[in-house]
Chains A and B, each alone.
Chain A
């Protein structure tokens, strides 16, 4: 039961982070290597919040969303918007460079936090509180992470499919030039998409230190898992990404449990994500979305054959 809850909460966190990455791929056609850094920025926002307020990091969710969102927004405005017309490869290389820059900035910040603010900022973890639910003692994370993820993903769905803004976002994702011709302010719409994707990553970052120790370069191992999720889901498919988040969340949790049980190092965990990427690309290049895509390709928003 505990293992199941653990897997559910981890899946939720993965879904939050990878849906944001998928949104960047769909709207701006950029496989953003810096996306995991927004998750780490969210974790550091929670660390600072906890250090200064002495309150539970769960209350830092709005702050982490704001900071993660702003980091992604700045990335878009200062880097990707300027290079938008240069094609996917240029954007991807730029995102790799941005990843290094953000990590370096986080290193500097961690040094500063440790030396000047007295905050333990490398390899930090959060201690979780236990809650009793119907006589069963549970860790707060196993309730907070799935509930937050579910609520935010439902809100994202409503935003995308039930609001004018969502129509605009889907239109820009499909054809930015045509959207502009119809009078849509493409830059503003893409800015919002990036803010949302960073905000979701920032929220995911609040939950991770309850399970993993976080450092400025934690983004590297998170990134591999996120790319495994979006590859398995089908690059640029939101529905595929959600399903793949659950599959990866459960599989990784069970793998770690199995490895620990066998006395094998869990440091092998990244190998699993790497294998998922390679085998998906070899056997089902269009990922899970390929299962419901038509000869004209899968709609990024579709969850079934149309």
Chain B
């Protein structure tokens, strides 16, 4: 479904990610892990089109989308949740969801919102509240709900659990797995919390200094004490 070939990404002319290749099928979760500044988020931005692609290509369902602008990628079924901010603070929860379903016909759109609210019961009753008044966990739930409204086939999440309490982070990852199961979603998860990411993912891509150090099963990476210890700081695996 997603094929990334020899992708180099950067900002302006500065290359941050160097020739990364991988593929991902529907229903699979890929965790991208690595130390700070290794280019994980930049890789995601390159795939989605919010950072400059300096080489290589991205194929989505067989179509070359390397140069396609983000709104075209969204219409094709790709969704991306950025690291810093995934909701509009000045809009209400309902308006945020409405915005996410903007291009759909009105009737179908409302059905989708109802459907998403069923998936995220935490948001029920909060529809008229401004997003700036929500807790960190509620905001992330809303951000993921917004990504899900258009029923994407590929969901790319950039550190969705950052700054969340462990309990909330755990609930959020559980939700991501639920969504993967219900929608047969392909999920790319960039996480600083490597242990959490590797536990819930099928495949792992370890990045160091913008290059791929490991690509394979998450289980294997977790059990590879050398890589896990040196690059991820996971001294005791389990």
Query: Is the CB of B60 closer than 8 A to any CB of chain A?
Result: no
Q: Tell me whether B75 and A299 are in contact (CB under 8 A).
A: no
> What chain B residues lie within 8 Å of A168 (beta carbons)?
99, 102
Q: Tell me whether A183 and B90 are in contact (CB under 8 A).
A: no
Query: Is the CB of B202 closer than 8 A to any CB of chain A?
Result: no
Q: Tell me whether B71 and A185 are in contact (CB under 8 A).
A: yes
Query: Is the CB of B95 closer than 8 A to any CB of chain A?
Result: yes
Q: How large is the interface on A (under 10, 10 to 19, 20 to 34, 35 or more residues)?
A: 20 to 34
Q: Tell me whether B130 and A306 are in contact (CB under 8 A).
A: yes
Contacts A167-B98, A168-B102, A171-B99 known; A183 to B74 CB distance under 8 Å?
A: yes
Q: How far apart are A289's CB and chain B's nearest CB, in angstroms?
A: 13
The 8 Å CB contact of B99, one of A177, A184, A299, A306, is A184
Q: Tell me whether B95 and A167 are in contact (CB under 8 A).
A: yes
Tell me the complex Cα distance, A26–B95, Å. Answer: 19
Q: How far apart are A304's CB and chain B's nearest CB, in angstroms?
A: 13
Q: Which of B49-85 contact A (CB under 8 A)?
A: 50, 69-71, 74-75, 80, 82, 85
Q: How far apart are A38's CB and chain B's nearest CB, in angstroms?
A: 27
Q: Tell me whether A299 and B90 are in contact (CB under 8 A).
A: yes
Q: Which interface residue of A164, A181, A182, A184 has the most chain B CB atoms within 10 A?
A: A182
Query: Is the CB of B138 closer than 8 A to any CB of chain A?
Result: no
Tell me the complex Cα distance, A299–B88, Å. Answer: 12
Q: Tell me whether B88 and A174 are in contact (CB under 8 A).
A: yes
Query: Is the CB of B100 closer than 8 A to any CB of chain A?
Result: yes
Q: Tell me whether B91 and A170 are in contact (CB under 8 A).
A: yes
Tell me the complex Cα distance, A182–B89, Å. Answer: 15
Query: Is the CB of A130 closer than 8 A to any CB of chain B?
Result: no
Q: How far apart are B105's CB and chain A's nearest CB, in angstroms?
A: 12
The 8 Å CB contact of A174, one of B74, B89, B103, B146, is B89
Q: Tell me whether B90 and A301 are in contact (CB under 8 A).
A: yes
Q: Which interface residue of A171, A177, A306 has the most chain B CB atoms within 10 A?
A: A171
Q: Tell me whether B102 and A183 are in contact (CB under 8 A).
A: yes
Contacts A180-B50, A182-B74 known; A167 to B99 CB distance under 8 Å?
A: yes
> What chain A residues lie within 8 Å of B75 (beta carbons)?
183
Nearest CB to that of A182 among chain B residues?
B100
Top 7 A-B pairs ranked by shortest CB distance? A183-B74, A183-B71, A180-B70, A171-B88, A167-B95, A299-B90, A174-B88
In the assembled complex, 16 residue pairs joining A and B whose CB atoms fall closer than 8 Å, in A order, are A167-B95, A170-B90, A170-B91, A174-B90, A175-B88, A178-B85, A178-B86, A179-B99, A180-B50, A181-B48, A181-B80, A182-B100, A182-B102, A183-B74, A183-B75, A306-B132
